[in-house]
Structure 1
Amino acid sequence: MGAEVLPFPLPKKQGQAPLILGLQPSALVDHVAKVDCSLLDQIPGERGGSQPVGIEELQHLLNELKTHILPSPDDPSPMKTIAGGSVANTIRGLTAGFGITSGIIGAYADDEQGRLFVHNMTYNGVNLSGLKMKQGPTAQCVCLVDAFGNRTMRPCLSNAVKLQADELTREDFRDSKWLVMRYAVHNLEVIRAAIRIAKQEGVCISLDLASFEMVRNFKSPLLELLESGDIDLCFANEDEAKELLRGEQNTDPEAALNFLAKHCQWAVVTLGSNGCIAKHGKEVVRVPAIGEMKAIDATGAGDLFASGFLFGLVKGLPLEECCKIGSCSGGTVIRSLGGEVTPENWQWMYKHMKVKGLLVPEICQ
């Protein structure tokens, strides 16, 4: 999707407040490509995770992609540049696929990447009245996808424009029901401010644990957030769940689920091809993954799972049905490259939901 020039700054909030808000302090653009293993062998850091890089390394990776891209007969475009970021993926999924009024709070720059982010999110119906324009570059991320669909992220946040804690106001959160956030130690100040204000406005908080590196390296402030009792819903994948309990005798997903459920009303641990487990109060459910399809690209799988799960929550559905819808939407995004679901794959999901007797969004009618 091209970066069309749009009127700046963005309009003030008008009409109905978003039911679900996403806090993504820095707008971000993903460069997603399928690459051979030799490139992954060259770059520092563990595969499958997310490790920040500087602008020079980002440019080096983008240059290296030209000689390492894997040809794909199923996808004529082996590389995509799209609006990204975990929270943005979840919010876009809620609006585009589930018809839930949703918005983003954050900052972008008036550069090519910022304009692309704004155009893509606007096109998908996301409310951007909480997005502020600032001087500087928009954040970028290289998403390297191997032949098996596993993705390795290298975000570049160096000098990127960012929303600050003192720029948040109660008006940003008024009349919304949920705030979606991703744990990041460099955003800790704005995360804490957002939680404080959101709670004053009666808004529920959803937190994603981000990456196993973030949990491993910055576990202490994460535990403070969880133990505060302010997090209503927490999402973790299997690797993040294991890191959360590193050093404990039992580090399996069930133990992590029980730990999270002590502090959060809803706790969810996603298990990739093995589905997910979730807990609310004393209720525990295990839901299998949807189908046996090989993943083209796992980018955004957890983010879109959250879209489906949150759709179920705001519709008042039982825990198991929330998980099943999350499994459907998470399984939808892995059918193509990047964290944005194609119109064809949304239709695939609606058909799957109908077959399984799940509540289908009105948007597909």
Structure 2
Amino acid sequence: MHEIDVVGIGNAIVDVLSHADDAFLDKHGLTKGGMMLIDDDQARSLYAAMGPGVEISGGSAANTMAGIAALGARAAFIGKVRDDQLGEVFAHDIRSIGVSFMTPPALEGASTGRCLILVTPDAQRTMNTFLGAGVGLTPEDINPDVIQAAQVTYLEGYLWDPENAKNAFRKAVEAAHAGGRKVALSLSDSFCVDRHRDEFRELVEQVDILFANEAEILSLYQVDQFDAALQAVRRANTLAALTRSEKGSVILQGDEVHVIDAEAGVTLVDTTGAGDLYAAGFLAGYTTGRTLPECGRMGSIAAAEAISHMGARPQADLKALVAAKLG
């Protein structure tokens, strides 16, 4: 295998983004800013009620790999689609932006997953996700050669639900560490933390890099204050990059603490993918030898670009933005 900077493992999903108001959310019983899992029937019903939308390949880890590729690093993605139209769209799209994608499609079972994202005027995104074929990922889809070719294997917390997917994650962690490589984990959403708190705490002890936002890390350790969460994650002895929206981020490794400011002068349009792109910037810096403060700054730059427009995929030249701000 050729050297890879980061390989991401997660749900392969096609995102559908549309504007909506609070009344629409209330009418359909949706919690603003949250993520809800829906079934095929709910996905069809909500899609029919939504206004005009933008459709693009997505999924949290896939968005992160797209950002890494946009920053000039080498990215690969492992995720399951079905042999249907959306599966073909996903595969073509992610490969077209320079991300290696070799997972064979499922030949039976659920259709390719999709996420219906409603963006309200305050730029909050409310996600309604039909996971579809994505949850069909199995250990057989994890190629140890690919894992060991990557400096970092990045795991998406959203996928920590089906037993086969958990076993796929465990196989990837084992292969990465056997090859002397690093493993990163994104907690993904407070919804995921609430469902899998005990298992996530165990998993955090096994990974080398942890990504979480403030709500997720507070939920993980069941504390009310961010400083208390910092102390708890410090005891886990992992490198943690914790985002705090307009407050920026905090990077913690042992006794080393770096506070990174959020980028100034950004017009907030849509928060979809902010955390995904923060992780992309951070990991692109990390795998190319940047210092931890520089990694955090790259994460902030990438996240700021993501929230300045609809959708999670970069629209500006991220490499140029980083070069202009960091050199």
TM-score normalised by length of structure 2? 0.92
Q: Name the amino acid aligned to 1:20.
A: V
- 1:44-102 per-residue CA deviation (whole Å, 9 max, x = no partner) reads 45321211101111111111113xxxxxxxxxxx621111111000001111x211111
Question: Is the Cα–Cα contact under 8 Å of residues 13 and 134 in structure 2 kept in the other structure?
Answer: no
Q: Name the amino acid aligned to 1:17.
A: E
Tell me which residue corresponds to 1:88.
62
Question: Is the Cα–Cα contact under 8 Å of residues 257 and 269 in structure 1 kept in the other structure?
Answer: no
Equivalent position to 2:176, from 156, 180, 198: 198
- 1:20 pairs with 2:6: yes
Tell me which residue corresponds to 2:214.
238
Q: Name the amino acid aligned to 1:326.
A: G
Q: Name the amino acid aligned to 1:234.
A: L
Aligned-residue offset at 1:355: 4.6
Question: Is the Cα–Cα contact under 8 Å of residues 234 and 264 in structure 1 kept in the other structure?
Answer: no
Question: Taking every aligned residue pair, what percent have the same amino acid on both sides?
Answer: 28
For 1:163 and 1:214, how far apart are their aligned partners in 2? 18
Equivalent position to 2:195, from 209, 217, 227: 217
Question: Is the Cα–Cα contact under 8 Å of residues 80 and 133 in structure 2 kept in the other structure?
Answer: no
- 1:251-299 per-residue CA deviation (whole Å, 9 max, x = no partner) reads 3223223322322431011011111111122110111110132311111
For 2:104 and 2:196, how far apart are their aligned partners in 1? 28
- 1:110 pairs with 2:91: no
For 1:62 and 1:123, how far apart are their aligned partners in 2? 26
Q: Name the amino acid aligned to 2:295.
A: C
- 1:306-351 per-residue CA deviation (whole Å, 9 max, x = no partner) reads 1110111112222111111110000011111111111xx226x734
Tell me which residue corresponds to 2:39.
54
Question: Is the Cα–Cα contact under 8 Å of residues 152 and 184 in structure 2 kept in the other structure?
Answer: yes
CA gap of 1:335–1:128, structure 2 versus 1, over 3 A, is same
- 1:280 pairs with 2:237: no
Q: Name the amino acid aligned to 2:281.
A: G
Count of residues paired in the alignment: 321
Question: Is the Cα–Cα contact under 8 Å of residues 204 and 238 in structure 2 kept in the other structure?
Answer: no
RMSD over aligned CA atoms reads 1.8
Q: Name the amino acid aligned to 1:339.
A: A
- 1:89-144 per-residue CA deviation (whole Å, 9 max, x = no partner) reads 0001111x211111011222221111111111111000113x11112411111111
Equivalent position to 1:188, from 166, 176, 197: 166
TM-score normalised by length of structure 1? 0.83
Q: Name the amino acid aligned to 2:218.
A: K
- 1:132 pairs with 2:104: yes
Aligned-residue offset at 1:43: 3.1
SS at match of 1:19: strand
Q: Name the amino acid aligned to 2:116.
A: V
Question: Is the Cα–Cα contact under 8 Å of residues 234 and 254 in structure 2 kept in the other structure?
Answer: yes
Q: Which runs of 5+ in 2 are unaligned?
A: none
Tell me which residue corresponds to 2:298.
325
Aligned-residue offset at 1:146: 0.9
SS at match of 2:78: strand
Tell me which residue corresponds to 1:291.
264
Tell me which residue corresponds to 1:11.
none
For 1:198 and 1:106, how far apart are their aligned partners in 2? 17
CA gap of 1:141–1:166, structure 2 versus 1, over 3 A, is same
SS at match of 2:50: helix
- 1:205-258 per-residue CA deviation (whole Å, 9 max, x = no partner) reads 11000111111122111112123xx21000111111221122x4xx32232233
Equivalent position to 1:310, from 283, 289, 293: 283
Tell me which residue corresponds to 2:142.
168
Question: Is the Cα–Cα contact under 8 Å of residues 269 and 276 in structure 1 kept in the other structure?
Answer: yes
Q: Name the amino acid aligned to 2:6.
A: I
SS at match of 1:16: coil
Tell me which residue corresponds to 2:121.
147
Question: Is the Cα–Cα contact under 8 Å of residues 257 and 267 in structure 1 kept in the other structure?
Answer: no
Question: Is the Cα–Cα contact under 8 Å of residues 241 and 251 in structure 2 kept in the other structure?
Answer: yes
For 2:288 and 2:133, how far apart are their aligned partners in 1? 40
Q: Name the amino acid aligned to 1:30.
A: D
- 1:25-60 per-residue CA deviation (whole Å, 9 max, x = no partner) reads x42111111111112113345321211101111111
